[in-house]
Amino acid sequence: MAIVYFYEKPGCANNTRQKKLLEAAGHQVVALNILTEPWQEDRLRRFFGELAVRDWFNYSAPPLKYGEIDPDELSEQQALALMLENPLLIRRPLMQVGDSVMAGFDQQAVDNWIGLTETEANQDIESCPRRDATTRCGHD
């Protein structure tokens, strides 16, 4: 099985569930704090591959949730600059296995990439379960 470097927001319930899925599949998870990682623009950019800029973002982060930032209006350079300034904006988790990287936790994509055990179909383990449009959440 794989050694997965897993960049998370410590305390995030979804990241905890995602790590458990990886471990249940026999992978070794090395959890790292996405908020304190010393990101460089080119290194961070690699995780997003061919994803559209809008898919680089964590939509539970307050600036996105409350319309302060519109990812559809940003260039790659602008998006990366914002993320380096405020890592809460980065879609989580970021994962690395060897030289291969991925942003987000689409179960089918992760299964195709490194393999997962059977899990509940259509289980959303990427969106924040504490997301509430009326209040700011300290969990973002």
Which residues are the active-site residues? 12
At 111, the amino acid letter reads D
Amino acid at 77: Q
9-20 CB burial, b ≥16 within 10 A, e <16:
beebebbebbbe
What are phi and psi for residue 88, nearest 5 degrees?
-60, -20
Distance CA 8, CA 113 (A): 19
Residue with tokens 């026999």: 26
Q: How far is CA 10 from the centre of its chain?
A: 12
